[in-house]
Structure formats: C-alpha cells, structure tokens
Structure 1
Amino acid sequence: MQAAAQAILTFTRGMDAAAYSANEMAQAAVERKFEIIGEALNQLARLDGSVAARIPDVPHVVAFRNQLIHGYASVRPETVWTIAQTALPGLLLAVQALLDEHGKSGPAKTTQPH
C-alpha cells in the first residue's frame, strides 16, 4: 500500500487536474496503483480486521478499487484526480503510522500532492 501510494504521488507530481486528464498513461498508472491499494486493504481486512479498521475509509477504498476494475467504462479522470489529491495523503499517513508502529517501514516520504 505504501509503495503504491508513493507511486501515485510520483506519477502526479507537477500535474494539475487538466494535465492529468490529458495524460492517458498517468491515468492508467494511477488507476492501477489504486487497484493495488484497494486489494491490499481488502486482504488486510480479511486477515486482521482490527488493523484494517485503523485505516480510514477502508470500505470506500475497496469499493473504489472495485469500480476501477469492474466499472472502468464509467470512471472519470476528474474523480480519480480528486481522490488522489484529497484522500490519498491521509491514507498514506495512516499506513505509515501502522508500519512505524510495527517497525516495518522504510524511509518516510511525506510528499504532498500538488
């Protein structure tokens, strides 16, 4: 989850909503990383619901993953962009805190999206 979230931040660095909407490769890459995050949270919820509950909006993240995979024709770049800008930073902080707590984190990267 952490690596996928960091990748989204990297893929979108220096972009605004219009640039993201015009960049099909960035859209595909970001959507794929959101799919990975959603599946990882889905697996975590199955394995340890108490840990998953400490991450905000797990059901929404999993639902978003399902929308990306099964409802891809109706996914709007503007929606993905908004989620990457508004929800991803908080998710990344929650994941980082859990990793820190369990001594399993790499170097923290707290780059905020632009």
Structure 2
Amino acid sequence: MTDTPLSARDLDRLRHIAEASERALRYTSEGRASLDDERTYDAVLRCLTVIGEALAAVSDEAYRRLPSVPPGLPKAQRNLIVHEYWRIKPEVIWATVQQQLPSLIHDVKTALNE
C-alpha cells in the first residue's frame, strides 16, 4: 500500500477499466459460446480495447497498484485487436476474459478504495 493519492485522471481511467471489465464478463456470462455471436464478440473486443488503452494511460504509480497486470501485456493485446485483427484468436479472448479480468477488477477496486 502507498500513501500517495492517485490523480483524478488515474481514478477516471481505473473506473473505465473496471466498467469495461465488468461488461466483458457480463457479455460472456453464458459461457464460451457467447463469443460465437458476432455482436458479443465485437463488444468484448471493444471492452478489451478500452481496458488496454486505459491501462496505457495510467501513471506508473497507478499501474504499480495492479499487481495482476503484466507490464505491457494489455497494451500489446489492444494493439493486436486494433492493428492486427486478423491474428486474434477467440480462445485467447475467452481466456483473457475468464482468467485475467476477475483479478484485474479486484486490483482496480482495491486501488480505487485506497
């Protein structure tokens, strides 16, 4: 824990991350087959893009408060979605949503409550 308060900008970005993460989990709550629906798939990709962009925009201090996030990985995934969309694998998107987002939400909510 740290005594340094986060900036208003960081707090906004962290809220955006939590909201997008929760939406992606909600959109896929019916299971892996949820991503077979093109609207759901596109919506989840949009959520992951927002998460990657917001994580790239937070300060180093805010990023340090998110121990479950590997440095650079969200931005790399965001860049893949945006710039190399043909390489996206639905199974990787599913794994990201199910395995990474719950920990991210926990870390973000902890940081917001500090």
Same fold (TM over 0.5): yes
Q: What's the % identity of the aligned pairs?
A: 30
Aligned-pair Cα RMSD in Å: 1.1
Shift of residue 25, structure 1, vs aligned partner? 1.0
1:52 maps onto 2:63 in alignment: yes
TM normalised by structure 2 equals 0.79
Shift of residue 53, structure 1, vs aligned partner? 2.1
Matches within 5 A, 1:56-67: 56-67=69-80
CA distance, structure 1, for counterparts of residue 50 and residue 71 of structure 2: 13
Unaligned runs of 5+ in 1: 102-114
Q: Choose which of 47, 53, 74 in structure 2 pairs with 1:33.
A: 47
| Total equivalences in the alignment | 96
**Secondary structure, in 3 states, of the residue corresponding to 2:91?**
helix
Unaligned runs of 5+ in 2: 1-16
- Ranges of 4+ aligned residues in structure 1 off by more than 2 Å: none
CA distance, structure 1, for counterparts of residue 21 and residue 84 of structure 2: 21
Deviations 1:52-71 (Å, cap 9, x if unpaired)?
12212141111111111111
Shift of residue 76, structure 1, vs aligned partner? 1.1
Shift of residue 100, structure 1, vs aligned partner? 1.1
